Amino acid sequence: MTTSTKKQKLPFGILEDGKLIQNFSENSKKAAHQFLESKIETGILTQELKSIFPYKNFQKWISEFGIALTKSKLENIERDEEKLILMARTLEELNHYVNVLKNRQNILEDYNNFKTVLENTEKLRDKLEDKTKEIARKIANNLSTLLGPVLAAILIAKAKGLKNLAEMPSSKIQILGAEKSLFRYLGDKEKKESIPKYGILYLSPFIKEAKKENRGKVARFLAAKVMLASRLDYFSDKNMGKELKEKLVMEIKKLGK
């Protein structure tokens, strides 16, 4: 009886049963792209990589590979982020369109193709939402865990990128999406309008489900956690979204005491 061996991905090729069965390109930059594109799990070796390295100048090649891999990862993140921003905006538009169709159902339902148009729009919206969630979790896992991937995507889109969001103070994050209300407040000399307490974060159940008198405080707590989550996503590889969410829940519970 033979046992199957697991293939592993190395910087310069695919390893199986201690032997290289496929080499990536001798060109370290091309090898970095092949490494990223490969779906095989990254291998952790007990033996030295140098002993099975198939080319010359191991140290130089590995150094160049590391630089090229980092650049390729950043390029992939930027492409995913651009796609996420466009998808989040489109998702908001589709949700609006679906709501408009439903609100106008009494007027439109006599048209033969109304039901088909509505169903197809909802299906398109649902498919786009699934893809949005997938990409949001990929590039902003902490933020997605804290807010939910759809709201995380919308917030990144409002900030025009994860980097911008990560560099924002919590006070700005709290009112992100409510800029028009803020400008009206600042321009109101008699202060007839109240200062906005939150923007797009209002979509979070943490704020929606809070008592009215506590929503401002909950918004501040949430904005502070969003700031930390976005910085973790942009500046590190740490996954602490669950811990941030648990701390937020504890802070909100204390308001009820």
Map 84-134 to HEC letters.
HHHHHHHHHHHHHHHHHHHHCHHHHCCCCCHHHHHHHHHHHHHHHHHHHHH
Q: Which three-class secondary structure state does DSSP give residue 14?
A: strand
Distance CA 31, CA 45 (A): 19
128, pLDDT greater than 60: yes
Overall average pLDDT of the 118-131 stretch: 93
Please report the pLDDT score of residue 159 as a whole number: 92
Overall average pLDDT of the 127-151 stretch: 94
Distance CA 122, CA 128 (A): 10
Overall average pLDDT of the 13-40 stretch: 84
From the options 3.40.50.2000, 1.20.1260.10, 3.30.1120.10, 1.10.246.90, give the CATH code of 142-257: 1.10.246.90
Residue 252 near residue 218 (C-beta atoms within 8 A): yes
Beta bridge partners of 19: 16
Residue-range domain boundaries for the chain: 8-69, 142-257
Please report where in the chains the tokens 């740490």 appear, as a residue: 238
- Phi (first) and psi of residue 220, to 5 degrees: -65, -45
4, pLDDT greater than 50: no
Please report the pLDDT score of residue 1 as a whole number: 37
Residue type, 132: T
